[in-house]
Structure formats: C-alpha cells, structure tokens
C-alpha cells in the first residue's frame, strides 16, 4: 500500500523562498522545514529573515538566510548557485515576494504601476528562468522540481482599486501556465503551479483594508473589513498556515501529476 503520509512530506528536498522573512513567506519556510526540507529564506529584510531562520533552527529544522532583491537578475543567479552549493541542490522554488498598492486607475501613477509589475511579475519571471536552468537535466541541480508562484484571487477576478495589482497577479497566473507547459513538453521533470489566496490575516492583508479606506473605497476601516469578510462565504479571513499547507502540497510528491494548475485558497471568494 502507498505510504500517503510520506507522499505529503518533503524529506531531503531543498527549497528556496523569496519574500520569506515574514508573513506568508515565513510560514511557508517553517512548514517546509518542519516536513523535512532544507530551506533558503531570501528577502530584502535581513533582520526579519534571520529571525525566521533562527525560529526554524530552534525547532530542529535546517535553514539559512540570504539577501535577495527579486528584480535583480544577477542576484537571482548568485542566490540559486549559493543554494545549490550550501544544500546540494534545488527542488522547490516558491516565488512569494510581492507588493500591493491600492489606487483607482485614474490615480495610479505610471511609476507605481511599473514598480508593482517589476516586483510581482519580473521577479517571478527571473525566479522561474533561473530555477528551470538549475533544475532541468544538465543543470547544476538537474533533478527536476516544483515551482510554486503566488498569485491571488486578484489574478482571477477584478477588484476595484487594485488595477495594477490585478494586472500583475493575472500575469503571474498565465506565466505559470506557460512555464508548466514548456517544462512538461521539454521533459524537464519540473512542475509549475500558482496559488491564489483570498484575504489572509497578515500585515499585508490588514494594510489592504486600511489602504481601501484611505482611498475612499469605504467610509472607514471597519466597514471595509466587514465588506471583505462578507465576500468570503466561509465566514472568516485566511491564516498563513492555510497558504503554507497549499505550498507544502504542491512542493510534495503528493502533487506529482499536477502542473499548470491554479490552487485557489480563498474561503469561497471566487466561487460565487
């Protein structure tokens, strides 16, 4: 009989997480490490990233921190090479780093729009590009793997005040599918999938509500929170472990026949 418990673990695998210093990224790092992976936590926030690594090590896991600005291609190359040197390979890439900006289309500046696309889309593209080079046959790791890109429900449906963010997360959705098809057809042994969270109760999630109110999209933060809560039929916002569990599934061999998919973790937000 198949050992399903083992299928959901990631023993012996090596994971790299962008934006792993805090919030969702930190929870993903801890989940992967707890289930057997060696984790390279990367972020521009060194203090918080090192604290996350310490928490993982204190719990008996294996992790290191490395600074990474996801819009810098040379840094991606250096980081992936360092990951392989430190841990002996690369099996899991989680492209988690991203930013949000609330603004009506008429009020969003070109500079703000471009910055969101640069971090949320170009950063993911660069991660995919260099992870595939390392993971594919003949690469420095060369044993295939799983790429997990964080999109959003805002990559599936439009949201007033989030045009720039919508554009970026929609791009991540289709970029993921393209990478998945390319890797499958070229027999690389690499899978690529996207995760689409609803509102998760992190600093970024709470900031979203504040920004909506500040942009005049609700009378106050309490009203905005109530409206967003009502949009999640399950009756509450998500928590970081909800998204970390989805990452763990897509990183593990339990999802070995899944590629090019959209895993929506949104409390029913997009079901209506």
The dihedral of CA 164, 101, 194, 42: what is its sign?
positive
Residue 2 to residue 9: CA distance in whole angstroms: 13
Active-site option among 165, 212, 228, 237: 165
Q: In what order do the strands lie in the sheet with 145-150?
A: 62-67, 38-43, 14-17, 92-95, 145-150, 190-197, 262-265
Strand 14-17 with 92-95, pairing: parallel
- 239 with 198: CB under 8 angstroms? no
Strand ranges, E, within 83-189: 92-95, 145-150
- 254 with 8: CB under 8 angstroms? yes
Residue 28 to residue 18: CA distance in whole angstroms: 10
Give the pair of three-digit tokens for residue 167.
Answer: 């554009």
| 165 catalytic per annotation | yes
End-to-end CA distance of the chain: 39
- 234 with 170: CB under 8 angstroms? no
Q: Which residues of 95-119 are buried (b: 16+ CB within 10 A; e: fewer)?
A: bbbbbbbbbeeeebeeeebebbbeb
Q: What is the CA radius of gyration of the chain?
A: 18
Q: Active-site positions?
A: 165
């Amino acid at each position: 009989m198949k050992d399903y418990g083992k299928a959901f673990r990631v023993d012996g695998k090596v994971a790299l997480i962008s934006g792993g210093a805090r919030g969702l990224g930190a929870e993903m790092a801890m989940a992967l490490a707890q289930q057997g992976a060696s984790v390279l936590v990367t972020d521009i926030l060194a203090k918080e990233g090192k604290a996350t690594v310490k928490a993982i090590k204190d719990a008996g896991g294996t992790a290191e921190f490395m600074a990474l600005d996801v819009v810098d291609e040379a840094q991606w190359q250096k980081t992936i090479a360092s990951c392989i040197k430190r841990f002996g390979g690369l099996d899991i890439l989680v492209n988690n780093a991203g930013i949000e900006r609330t603004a009506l289309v008429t009020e969003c500046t070109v500079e703000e729009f471009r910055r969101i696309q640069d971090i949320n889309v170009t950063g993911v593209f660069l991660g995919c590009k260099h992870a595939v080079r390392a993971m594919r046959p003949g690469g420095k790791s060369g044993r295939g793997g799983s790429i997990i890109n964080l999109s959003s429900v805002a990559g599936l449906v439009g949201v007033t005040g989030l045009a720039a963010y919508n554009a970026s997360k929609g791009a991540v959705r289709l970029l993921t599918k393209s990478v998945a098809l390319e890797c499958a057809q070229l027999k690389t042994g690499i899978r690529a999938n996207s995760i689409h969270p609803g509102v998760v109760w992190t600093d970024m999630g709470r900031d979203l509500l504040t920004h909506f109110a500040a942009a005049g999209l609700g009378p106050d933060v309490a009203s905005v929170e109530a409206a967003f809560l009502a949009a999640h039929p399950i009756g509450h916002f998500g928590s970081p472990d909800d998204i970390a569990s989805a990452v763990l599934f897509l990183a593990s061999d339990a999802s070995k026949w899944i590629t090019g998919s959209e895993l929506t973790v949104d409390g029913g937000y997009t079901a209506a």
